[in-house]
Amino acid sequence: MQVYADNAATTKVSQTAIDALLPCLTDKYGNPSSIHSFGQAASREMENAREIIARCLNADPKEITFTSGGSEADNQALLSAAAAGEKKGKKHIISTAFEHHAILHTLDKLSKQGFRIELLPVYQDGIVRLEDVEKAIGEDTALVSIMYANNEIGTIQPISEIGALCKEKGVPFHTDAVQAAGHLFIDVKVQNIDMLSLSGHKFHAPKGSGVLYVRSGSVPLVNVIEGGAQERGKRAGTENIPGIAAMAAALKESCENLDANAAKVSAMRDRLIQGLEQIPESVLNGHRTNRLPGNVNFCFKGIEGESLLLMLNLAGIAASSGSACTSGSLDPSHVLLSIGLTHEVAHGSLRLSLSEYTTDEEVDHILATVPTVVERLRAMSPVWESMQKGK
């Protein structure tokens, strides 16, 4: 049996997305900036997609800027807020220690330009505390950027409360919602979100399409890609019409089925958690219930995550040991270190991420396979042997 349990890295493209994409390859293939009928057909497709996505977020279509994905959207959000803040003499940015590297690396870049970056702790349960955010906000704060849900351990942050606090303090609020969009409730007006990033391939659209939402009147966007006047002059380059159309269709379908999908997927998640925690010396990472419906993340002491993944792959199970963007690194996950795990324990992590396409039979296969593989690896592990002798 083949089991795909790496949906946090990328998802299978849905038939709905494919059906929306194909006409843009065969019939509506014009450049949306062209004035002829082919170009205008493509432009109408793009603006229809913009309206669909705006409705899913409870935004205005003009607040939606299309990007190549979540990383570009994150970069543009932070650089725009930093530029706006600098003009007002505000050079303090608040974020957390376990953000995606698209955020953290951009913050590193800004710190070298004289910005003061404050990374808040997320504690053992992987959740930032509202009082820490409130305490950190000062007169010189240009932006608060806190992810909606973590890509590795799946923990959901108090976004509505943070949004309300930032509105009260008059500070722009950005959230990286790449893992949340299509899976969790999002309403940018109700939640007081000023800027939001999302990526289509996390909710069954093709790779290469994303969105940056910016509330009108909040933060003026600066270009991170120079060139033409596409996207109201805020993002140069011919728009990816097939990807945009597919992304809108996939997000609409995901939002329409949000509650049913969450109930189904979280039931499978909980069954996995209950089964895997029976393995001796296993640690569930992050809050047990306040997490994404499809996210399961464990550390198994005494083994290496890479070896675990290789053996699971041989058994037909595709999983990961952390973020897909850092899968080539031998360093332990910065997310796991941020919640207090040691380097040694963090090296033995396993992330299983499910979707509505996952079946109960596939969950059964995972539950039957992982304990056996962990036991086999521990039998070969000098670290595990040393741990047992030290008891």
pLDDT digits (tens, 9 = 90+) for 324-377: 554 555 678 999 999 999 988 898 899 999 999 999 999 999 999 999 999 999
Please give the Cα distance from 86 to 97 (Å, whole number). Answer: 23
User: Both tokens of residue 130?
Assistant: 């509202």
102-138 pLDDT, tens digit each: 999 999 999 999 999 999 999 999 999 999 999 999 9
In the listed set 222, 256, 290, which residue is the last one of a domain according to the structure?
256
Looking at the structure, tell me whether residues 196 and 270 fall in a common domain: no
Are the beta carbons of 171 and 140 closer than 8 angstroms?
no
* SS3 category, 88: coil
Alpha helices, DSSP H only, in the chain?
Answer: 15-26, 37-57, 70-87, 101-111, 130-136, 159-169, 230-233, 241-256, 258-276, 305-314, 334-338, 343-346, 360-379, 382-389
Q: Tell me the CB-side half-sphere exposure of residue 371, using CA atoms within 13 A.
A: 13
Same domain, 174 and 314: no
- Return the C-alpha torsion angle 120, 214, 70, 261, nearest 10: 90
Mean pLDDT, to the nearest integer, of 229-242?
Answer: 96
Which of 293, 30, 37 lies closest to 154, judged by CA?
A: 293
Say yes or no: 271 and 134 in one domain: no
* 245 and 262 part of one domain: no
Rounded CA separation 110/105 (Å): 9
Which of residues 194, 227, 256 is at a domain's end? 256
- For residues 292 and 179, is the Cβ–Cβ distance under 8 A? yes
Tokens standing for 96?
């957390």
Q: What is the DSSP letter of 331?
A: S
- 335 and 244 in one domain? no
Reduced to 3 states (helix: H, G, I; strand: E, B; else coil), residue 65 is strand
The CATH number covering residue 331 comes to: 3.90.1150.10
CATH for 251? 3.40.640.10
Residue 325 annotated to the active site: yes
| pLDDT for 347 | 87
Q: Which pLDDT value is given to residue 144?
A: 99
At CA 198, angle to CA 256 and CA 248, rounded to 5? 45
Cα–Cα dist 289/249, whole Å: 29
Whose tokens are 């995901």? That residue is: 254
Mean pLDDT calculated for residue range 290-316: 96
56 and 164 both lie in a single domain: yes
Overall domain count for the chain: 2
Q: If you compute the radius of gyration of the chain from its CA atoms, what whole number of angstroms results?
A: 22
Higher pLDDT, 388 or 98: 98
Encoded tokens for 80: 């725009």
Amino acid at 27: D
Candidate list 24, 56, 299, 325, residue with the active-site label: 325
Residue 380, number of CB atoms within 10 A of its CB: 10
| Mean pLDDT in residue range 168-181 | 99
Average the pLDDT over each of 185-199, 221-235, 259-273 and give the range with the smallest value: 221-235
136 and 216 housed in the same domain = yes
Provide, rounded to the nearest whole percent, the portion of the chain with pLDDT above 90.
Answer: 93
Amino acid present at 126: G
> What is residue 391's predicted lDDT score, i.e. its pLDDT?
66
Tell me which residue range forms the domain holding 290. Answer: 3-11+258-389
54-112 pLDDT, tens digit per residue, is 999 999 999 999 999 999 999 999 999 999 999 999 999 999 999 999 999 999 999 99
Closest listed residue to residue 146, CA positions, set 297, 9, 266, 136: 136
Same domain, 327 and 246: no
Do residue 276 and residue 243 come from a single domain?
Answer: no
Q: Are residues 146 and 282 in the same domain?
A: no
* Residue 214 shares a structural domain with residue 313: no
Which residue, chain included where needed, has tokens 């994409």?
Answer: 21
CA atoms within 13 A on the CB side of 76: 29
390 pLDDT more than 80: no
Cα–Cα distance measured from residue 138 to residue 245, given in angstroms and rounded to the nearest whole number:
41
| pTM for the model | 0.96
Q: Give residue 9's identity as a one-letter amino acid code.
A: A
274 and 381 fall within a common domain:
yes
Question: pLDDT band at 322, cuts 50/70/90?
Answer: low
How far is it, in rounded angstroms, from Cα 134 to Cα 280? Answer: 40
* The last residue of a domain, from among 203, 226, 256: 256
Query: What pLDDT is attached to residue 246?
Result: 99
Q: Model confidence over 200-222: pLDDT tens digits? A: 999 999 999 999 999 999 999 99
- Where residue 286 falls among pLDDT bands split at 50, 70, 90? very high
Is the confidence at residue 158, as pLDDT, over 90? yes
